[in-house]
């Protein structure tokens, strides 16, 4: 990728940063050495650290390890959560640590509940599994489209938001029907990678990550990505929300940042996201992004 003249790059970045000031009010580090956050209906936060599920306290010293596993996800009710452990998905009461249910799930990751809590979806071995009641099915995918990640359910629960691709290295966000092999593209940035979409609590906005930056090339191992925000209802153009990979921005991360696995607060005022720094070394932290007003 050919670099632009330095003076042009700097002016472009400064102008872009100036246009983004109204989008977020504050960005702070929430937890170091952490990933995969999940925010409950009653404002409790779970995250993953070194193979443990941690319930966040009022400060890092008050954090509690409550289970061994990965990919925690609160149920919509906030009374229990799901996580992957030992080839199974486990449902646990966080207060008593009592296991409410468990079932085989291979190498499950990216566990997601539907809005009504009736269905649970997860990624496993290149396929999206969906469990509703005791019935298990795989998400039907149309020919030519390869699944990469399970991102979220639509507000109605009739579609599953996924990351998928038609050619390797250029992923987009798709909304796929749960009942039949039909998918529609939600994003269209063919020179970049889009990943990790999460629908806002109201269902009106969608946050996702994109490697589309000013001049950073897209590499298959250590590509960098920032957060973008799109209006779903009514449909609107996606706007860049964070600038961790822009040297001209005060929030620039010189180690290189790939943002992923975000979770909204129930009131839509804040977002927790994973930042992987120096991706080849796989160091991660959680950041809290606060908005000027509810989404």
Structure tokens belonging to residue 114: 């539907």
Contacts of 126 (CB under 8 A, 6+ apart): 146, 147
Q: 195 pairs with which residues across the strands?
A: 209
The pLDDT value given to residue 217: 52
The pLDDT value given to residue 249: 86
Question: Quick check: 194 and 219 in contact, CB under 8 A?
Answer: no
The pLDDT value given to residue 209: 94
Convert the chain into a string of H (helix), E (strand) and C (coil): CCCCCHHHHHHHHHHHHHHHCCCCCEEEEEEECCEEEEECCCCCEEEEECCEEEECCCCHHHCEEEEECEEEEECCCCCCEEEEECCEEEEECCCCCCEEEEEECCCCEEEEECCCCCEEEEEECCEEEEEECCEEEECCCCCCCEEEEEEEECCCCCEEEEEEECCCCCCEEEEEECCCCCEEECCCCCCCCEEEEEECCCCCEEEEEECCCCCCCCCCCCCCEEEEEEECCCCCCCEECCCCCCCCCCCCCCCCEEEEEEEECCCCCEEEEEEEECHHHCEEEEEEEECCCCC
Phi, psi values for residue 67, rounded to 5° = -165, 160
Over its length of 295 residues, how does the chain's per-residue pLDDT go in tens digits?
Answer: 333 333 233 333 333 443 443 478 899 999 999 999 999 999 999 999 999 999 999 999 999 999 999 999 999 999 999 999 999 999 999 999 999 999 999 999 999 999 999 999 999 999 999 999 889 999 999 999 999 999 999 999 999 999 999 887 789 999 999 999 999 999 988 778 999 999 999 999 999 999 886 445 555 667 889 999 998 877 778 889 999 988 888 888 888 888 999 999 999 999 999 999 866 667 899 999 998 876 6
The pLDDT value given to residue 80: 98
The pLDDT value given to residue 94: 96
The structure tokens 């620039």 sit at 252
Residue-wise pLDDT tens digits, 75-104: 999 999 999 999 999 999 999 999 999 999
How many residues are present in the chain? 295
The pLDDT value given to residue 221: 63
The pLDDT value given to residue 247: 87
Of 139, 263, 240, nearest in space to 187 by CA = 240
Question: Quick check: 100 and 93 in contact, CB under 8 A?
Answer: yes
């Amino acid at each position: 990728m050919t670099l632009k003249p330095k003076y042009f790059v700097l002016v472009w970045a400064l102008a872009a940063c100036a246009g983004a000031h109204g989008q977020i009010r504050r960005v702070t580090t929430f937890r170091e050495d952490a990933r995969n956050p999940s925010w409950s209906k009653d404002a409790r936060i779970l995250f993953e650290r070194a193979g443990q599920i941690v319930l966040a306290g009022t400060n890092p010293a008050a954090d509690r390890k409550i289970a061994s596993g990965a990919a925690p996800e609160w149920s919509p009710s906030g009374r229990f959560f799901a996580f992957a452990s030992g080839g199974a998905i486990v449902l646990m009461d966080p207060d008593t640590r009592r296991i409410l249910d468990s079932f085989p799930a291979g190498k499950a990751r990216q566990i997601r509940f539907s809005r009504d809590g009736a269905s649970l979806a997860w990624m496993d071995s290149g396929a999206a599994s969906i469990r509703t009641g005791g019935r298990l099915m795989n998400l039907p995918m149309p020919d030519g489209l390869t699944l990469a990640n399970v991102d979220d359910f639509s507000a109605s629960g009739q579609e599953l938001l996924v990351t998928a691709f038609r050619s390797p290295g250029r992923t987009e966000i798709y909304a796929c029907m749960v009942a039949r092999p039909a998918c529609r593209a939600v994003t269209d940035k063919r020179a970049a990678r889009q990943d990790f979409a999460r629908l806002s609590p109201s269902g009106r906005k969608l946050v996702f990550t994109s490697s589309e930056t000013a001049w950073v090339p897209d590499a298959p191992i250590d590509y960098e990505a920032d957060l973008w925000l799109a209006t779903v209802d009514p449909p609107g153009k996606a706007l860049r929300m964070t600038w961790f990979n822009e040297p001209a921005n005060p929030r620039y991360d010189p180690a290189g940042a790939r943002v992923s696995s975000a979770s909204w607060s129930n009131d839509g005022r804040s977002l927790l996201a994973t930042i992987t720094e120096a991706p080849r070394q796989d160091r991660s932290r959680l950041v809290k992004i606060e908005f000027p007003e509810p989404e």
